[in-house]
Amino acid sequence: MVNTAEQASDRLEILDTLSRYAWGYDEGDFELLADTFTEEASTSGKVSRSDIGWGPLVGRGQIVEVLKSIHTAQPDQRRHSLHTAYFHSQGESEADVSIYLTLFGTENHQTRVVTTGLYRAALVKQTDGVWRMKRLDAILDAPF
């Protein structure tokens, strides 16, 4: 439960971090995407009810390098739609949040749902006052 204006403001900043991650990937702005992770961040993922998984990728540099290579190889334009955030916990400098994902892809003027799922993120408010992810895990409903 949000008890103060500062906590509410932090929630907006946390949600903005997740949006900047999605925006950075979709638009190929990997500098923007990189700034959403801590230097020592990790990320991994899995497809529910399957043996399909990836990661962990460890460190901002490795995360950005791999995501950039995936982006470059995709023939379609991806659009992440993030919605229905749930804060598992939130303190002054740490938060744990899940947010639903619908991933769209457009190619040859045809748009389709690529997959759905959720992101589970652990974030920290760093000394510069910016919330960044120290962990981002994707749990997808179907492979993409």
Task: Go through the domains of the chain in sequence order and give each one's CATH number.
Answer: 5-140 (3.10.450.50)
Backbone angles phi, psi at 25, to 5 degrees: -65, -50
**Closest residue by Cα to residue 78 from 87, 86, 88, 68:** 68
* Vertex 144 angle, CA 71 and 20, to 5°: 45
What pLDDT is attached to residue 23?
98
What pLDDT is attached to residue 1?
61
* Positions in the chain whose pLDDT score sits under 50: none
What pLDDT is attached to residue 2?
67
pLDDT in tens, 90-111: 999 999 999 999 999 999 999 9
What pLDDT is attached to residue 144?
80
What pLDDT is attached to residue 3?
77
